[in-house]
Amino acid sequence: MFELNKEHDITVVTGIGPEDRCALIVDDFYQNPEEVRKYAIASEKHSKQSDPQLMSGLPGHRVWEEDKRIRQNLKPFFDGIRNHRDLWRSPKKIKPGSWETSWDRAAFICNVMRENNRDPGGGIPHIDSFDVQFGVVIYLNTPEECQGGTRIYANEGIVNMCILGMDDDTNQVNELAQKRWERDYWTLDAPNSSWKTEVPFEMKWNRCIIYEADNLHGIWHDVGMFTDHDRIAQVLFL
């Protein structure tokens, strides 16, 4: 389980925002993605009612399975990705040892949702924990199910709200982003909107995307998507 392909099709996305950030698209990620998908479908789905602490503000449901194979089979690949220092430009000072700590607690985590679970506008932009360097999404929907994906957003030209002086408070950044999003998400990409889509990552079967966790990002889930099947996305916070 979780064995990776020996060769990947990797696309480097550059020029994200005024800081010229980068992200990666990795296609053909798993050797056997169907096996991982079946694991996700068979696993217990937690909800806000059953486990509010695990869910936090996440819409829909979440799979959380402790599984040492995540570290065993994925970490060598991501160690190599992290070592490409020329790609990563985040100004955040990650605490020493946080990389290994993230892998020590890494689990099989999948976000599972449908149309009736979507946030206003599809997915409210947010940043991930200040203690992690990367966010990772691996799409486990089959080709005929794939719709939308993930987007990196800019608000008033900013893709990293941390530069507004909120250097150590993830919740403060996310609260500000949510208020601005709920105020005018319906004007997304309109000339007078404070929000713009900076990069759209299209969902594709067995595709992995890797972005710096302090970039504003959210689920790309438009009205009418995932009405008769789940959106299944494995996530890692590293």
Residue spans per domain, the chain: 9-237
Quick one: 189 exposed, middle or buried, by C-beta within 10 A (0-12, 13-18, 19+)?
exposed
Q: How many CB atoms lie within 10 A of CB 186?
A: 11
Q: What is the pTM of this model?
A: 0.92
% of the chain with per-residue pLDDT over 70: 91
Does the pLDDT value for residue 91 go beyond 90?
no
CA distance 177 to 130: 16
Does the pLDDT value for residue 85 go beyond 80?
yes
pLDDT in tens, 126-139: 888 768 899 999 99
pLDDT in tens, 173-222: 778 788 887 777 777 777 778 888 999 999 999 999 999 998 999 999 98
Bridge partners, residue 4, by sequence:
30
CATH 1.20.1740 fits 9-237, yes or no: no
- 236 to 79, 103, 111, 221: CA distances (angstroms): 14, 9, 11, 20
Pair 84, 12: CB distance under 8 Å: no
pLDDT in tens, 42-74: 999 887 666 555 556 677 788 999 999 999 999
Pair 187, 155: CB distance under 8 Å: no
% of the chain with per-residue pLDDT over 90: 54
- 79 to 13, 52, 212: CA distances (angstroms): 19, 32, 15
